Amino acid sequence: MPDIVRIAPSVLSADLGRLAEQLDQLERGGADWIHVDVMDGRFVPNLTFGALLIGALRRMTDLPLDVHLMVVEPERYIEPFLEAGASVFTFHPEATVHVQRHLAAVREVGMRAGLALNPGTPLAAAEEVVDDLDLLLIMSVNPGYGGQSYLPSATAKIQRARAMLDRHESGALLEVDGGVSPDTIAAARSAGADTFVAGSAIFSAPDPAARIGELRDRCKAGVSV
Ligand code: DX5
Ligand code: ZN
């Protein structure tokens, strides 16, 4: 399991009216990536951001932008999001037909290619394209909203994902998204995740910068799973 832990605060839970100030706090707290949740009101009920916000974030921070597309036909956004400044482009296999082709296209233009699996989606969907992955995202909630509770079944799925990636000698990062908090992060880390998205746990904290450090510390503590 990779030693490096990445914390990726999700701007879905940020106060957009104070975005520049909140980004400063995240940078001060040692955030590694900024997670951007793109929702289209079709793949998930909620409607959020697009290339305009990605571009605005790109001008406000040098941190990599970890863009998570919860949209149908994500391939339509490869070029616009690249131009806006996305670093990681992660989409759902449930949302498109030609998953392998689109992963290859994302890499081809120079972004990291990620695949995100809903709680009900088998790991096999990722194993079929493992050589095309720079990142595998295990959803620990059903996507669509921030502030949901971590599904306990995610921990065993992360363990299986870790074993699958290791079996294929894949260098893909293993990310977890949904309900990640000081109470749940150690289980996900012990199961083999290395990259952690957190929205409400960071932005609802009295000191978001300190909360990032706390999440990182809880990873070191670990738990047996
Ligand atoms: C959920 C999104 C998440 C969300 C996580 O559909 O993909 O990235 O921002 O929020 P929390 O950490 O509050 O569960
Ligand atoms: Zn997300």
Question: How many angstroms separate the CA atoms of 143 and 148, rounded?
Answer: 9
**Span from the CA of 34 to the centroid of ligand 1 (angstroms):** 12
Per-residue model confidence (pLDDT) at position 225: 60
**Span from the CA of 36 to the centroid of ligand 2 (angstroms):** 7
Per-residue model confidence (pLDDT) at position 138: 99
Q: Which of 65, 148, 149 to mutate to test the pocket of ligand 1 (most atoms within 8 A of CB)?
A: 148
pTM for this structure? 0.97
Per-residue model confidence (pLDDT) at position 7: 98
Give the atom of ligand 1 at the shortest distance from the alpha carbon of 178.
14
Per-residue model confidence (pLDDT) at position 223: 67
Give the atom of ligand 1 at the shortest distance from the alpha carbon of 144.
6
pLDDT per residue of the chain (225 residues) written in tens, 0 to 9: 768 999 999 999 999 999 999 999 999 999 999 999 999 999 999 999 999 999 999 999 999 999 999 999 999 999 999 999 999 999 999 999 999 999 999 999 999 999 999 999 999 999 999 999 999 999 999 999 999 999 999 999 999 999 999 999 999 999 999 999 999 999 999 999 999 999 999 999 999 999 999 999 999 876 666
Per-residue model confidence (pLDDT) at position 187: 97
Residues in CB range of 58: below 8 A, 6 or more apart: 65, 84, 85
Question: Quick one: tokens of 213?
Answer: 């450090």
Per-residue model confidence (pLDDT) at position 220: 87
DSSP result, the chain: --S--EEEEBGGGS-GGGHHHHHHHHHHTT---EEEEEEBSSSSS-B---HHHHHHHHHH--S-EEEEEESSSGGGGHHHHHHHT-SEEEE-GGG-S-HHHHHHHHHHTTSEEEEEE-TTS-THHHHTTGGG-SEEEEESS-SS-SSPPPPTHHHHHHHHHHHHHHHTT---EEEEESS--TTTHHHHHHHT--EEEESHHHHTSSSHHHHHHHHHHHHHH----
Question: How many angstroms separate the CA atoms of 184 and 140, rounded?
Answer: 10
Of all protein residues, the one whose alpha carbon is nearest to atom 7 of ligand 1 is 143
* Catalytically active residues, by annotation: 37, 177
